[in-house]
Amino acid sequence: NHSSLEIIAFDEHKDLNRLKEAVKHKFNLVSNEDSFASLKELVAPDGKDTSIESFVAFILPKLKDFLGELVPTENIDRLLLDIFQSNPVIYPKIKAEVLGSLEARMNKVLNDSELLRNRLLEGRFSSRKLTQGSSLGSKTLHSAKNILKEMKVFLGINDSFYLDNVDKAYSEVNYCGILVFNKFIESLNNNEFQISDLNQCNLNGLVDLYSDALKELRHLEVPIKTTIAQNLTGIREVKNQLDEIKSAKRLNPSNSNSGCFIATATLGSYDHSLVLELRQFRDEWILTKRWGKDFVSWYYYYGGIAAKVIEDKTVLKRMSYLFIILPLVFLARVVKK
């Protein structure tokens, strides 16, 4: 009766600890076998199938609703776990329900991410997919972190259930980044887009995604942590190479003053008809050959040096036009036939 009065009077005393103690005391009485047997004899002597477990299963949802109305600002699952942490009958049941709910939320986040990731990987690769992959990974990471935070509060940082979910969540984050990155590398190897398109490829988002993930895992030991660290190293290496190429303006032919192409320097315009013809020759013939990629890489480097020398000298431009550009155009037209 005292515990009932404490619960009823909560609106007056507003003491959450008193409320918790009252609920705990009442349920400790009910979940005690001797007390429950006496209660059963008094209330339902014919209820042969009535047990503590069935009673708890029946009453807990009603208690959750009641507490939700009484203290709407509290996390009711956390409140119940706190109340019943020393109750060997009720605590395991509440814990299983809470963790089941959290795991279901986690699975939904990861399943939704996997669905979007698979759609992203369909079709031909484009540079924007790098950004889309890192954005999806960041969104998944944010959602998973919130759920994992709740799990950690309930279970602690060393609990196997918590660590398994950490590994599962960060594995999906890793897939969002590395599978798109692998598509990028595959497209490079297969010459599926023009070298000039590399200017649009941005790996900063992937580097940030993996850096954030690794930061979150710094105090945890889960299998995916090593994989994320290795992938971050690989992505950074490629990013540094790409940045180096961009900074040298080897892949920025849209700037006619960059000196990236001898033809552009000689003819004075990236949009000159002969420059366009030679670029088409490069993309459609040279790069299709086994030696083409190495040759083009060599040309971008040394051709840029030559173009710098040519671009301000009229005589050299004329010589380049007669002895380099025209023969190349002639060769391109012969090959096209």
Q: What is the pLDDT of residues 282-305, one digit of tens each?
A: 878 887 887 877 777 777 666 767
116 and 231 in a single domain? The answer is: yes
pLDDT at 299: 73
Interhelix angle for 160-189 vs 204-216, to 10°? 160
Q: Please tell me whether residues 43 and 183 are part of one structural domain.
A: no
More confident residue, 170 or 319: 170
Q: How many other C-beta atoms are found inside a 10 Å radius of the C-beta of residue 56?
A: 20
Structural domain including 183 reads 96-247
DSSP state of 255: S
Q: What is the pLDDT of residue 272?
A: 82
Task: Using DSSP, state whether 273 is helix, strand or coil.
Answer: helix
Does 323 share its domain with 220?
no
- Residues 6 and 67 grouped into a single domain: yes
Average pLDDT, the chain: 83
> Exposure pattern of 232-258 as b/e (b: 16+ CB <10 Å)?
beebeebbeebeebeeebbbbbeebeb
Has residue 51 been placed in a domain? yes
Helix (H, G, I), strand (E, B) or coil at 103: helix
- Looking at the fold, whether 108 and 233 belong to one and the same domain comes out as yes
Question: For residue 240, what pLDDT is reported?
Answer: 85
Question: Residue 256 falls within a domain, yes or no?
Answer: no
What does the pLDDT read at residue 43?
66
Same-domain check for residues 132 and 199: yes
What is residue 195's predicted lDDT score, i.e. its pLDDT? 54
Q: Which DSSP string do the residues of 104-162 spell out, in sequence order? A: HHHHHHHHHHHHHHHHHHSSS--THHHHHHHHHHHHHHHHHHHHHHHHHHHH-TT-HHH
Same-domain pairing of 104 and 70 = no
Q: How confident is the model at residue 36 (pLDDT cuts 50, 70, 90)?
A: low
Q: How far is CA 313 from CA 115, 169, 309, in A?
A: 58, 60, 7
Average pLDDT over residues 78-86: 85
131 shares a domain with 31: no
Helices in the chain by DSSP H: which ranges? 2-8, 10-13, 16-30, 33-43, 52-70, 76-83, 90-121, 128-155, 160-189, 204-216, 223-247, 262-267, 273-284, 292-310, 314-320, 326-336
Question: Are residue 173 and residue 118 in the same domain, yes or no?
Answer: yes
Which element (helix H / strand E) includes 46? Answer: none
When pLDDT is averaged across residues 46-67 and rounded to a whole number, the result is 77
Instruction: Inform me whether the pLDDT recorded for 311 exceeds 60.
Output: yes
| In a shared domain, residues 145 and 229 | yes
Quote the DSSP letter at residue 72.
T
**Chain length of the chain:** 337
Rounded to an integer, the average pLDDT of 299-322 is 76
Q: Is the pLDDT of residue 114 over 80?
A: yes
pLDDT tens, residue by residue, 196-209 = 566 778 899 999 99
Residues 141-178 have pLDDT tens digits of 999 999 999 899 888 899 999 999 999 999 999 999 99
Is the pLDDT confidence value at 47 over 60? Answer: no
Neighbours of 114 (CB within 10 A): 14
Q: Is residue 120 part of a domain?
A: yes
Spatial CA neighbour of 102 closest among 45, 54, 48, 161: 161
Per-residue pLDDT at 254: 41
State how many domains the chain has: 3
Which residue, of 88, 109, 129, is where some domain finishes?
A: 88
pLDDT band at 256 (very low <50, low <70, confident <90, very high): very low
How many Å apart are CA 12 and CA 244, to the nearest integer? Answer: 70
Any domain includes 40? yes
